[in-house]
Amino acid sequence: MRIGIAADHGGFELKKRLLKELAQTSWVWTDFGAFQLDPQDDYPDWVVPLARAVGRGEVQRGVAVCGSGVGAGIAANKIRNVRAALIMDSYSARQGVEDDDMNLLCLGGRVLGYELAAELVKTYLSAVYKDAERFRRRLQKVAALETGP
């Protein structure tokens, strides 16, 4: 599975640590930046290119990290075919994929410890969408929102 990751200054250190550990897995990672710590950068500059890659299917899943994870989620969900969520617990990391086909995980670099963040990423990436009729029906209703009122 191809995975993309991006972070602004608020998530930069967490992204660096995650990449170092997760590079040892079988997942193929693409780093969308930031590539150096810049306290003045803006999360959309890094999260939107990642979200576009997820939306186009260039990467199957994404991980976006900003200070709280909120801004990353707001920006990512503006992109067609992206289902992003701020996740703070393992149940939601798994269930978000299984039931809602979440394809972009948002984390808060300033509010999560490293061990929990690494566990959430691994849980999210290991989860599989159940593809039940009721889940497809709900996702069709959500996708219809992308085409406007």
Q: Residue 92's domain is classified under what CATH number?
A: 3.40.1400.10
66 is catalytic: yes
What does the pLDDT look like over 47-96, one tens digit per residue? Answer: 999 999 999 999 999 999 999 999 999 999 999 999 999 999 999 999 99
What does the pLDDT look like over 22-55, one tens digit per residue? Answer: 888 999 999 999 999 999 999 999 999 999 999 9
**pLDDT for res 74:** 98
Q: What is the pTM of this model?
A: 0.95
Given 18, 66, 82, 121, which residue is catalytic? Answer: 66
Range of the domain at 16: 2-147
CA distances for 111 relative to 36, 39, 46, 58, 66, angstroms: 21, 17, 19, 29, 10
**pLDDT for res 149:** 66
What does the pLDDT look like over 9-26, one tens digit per residue? Answer: 999 999 999 999 888 899
Domains contained in the chain, number = 1
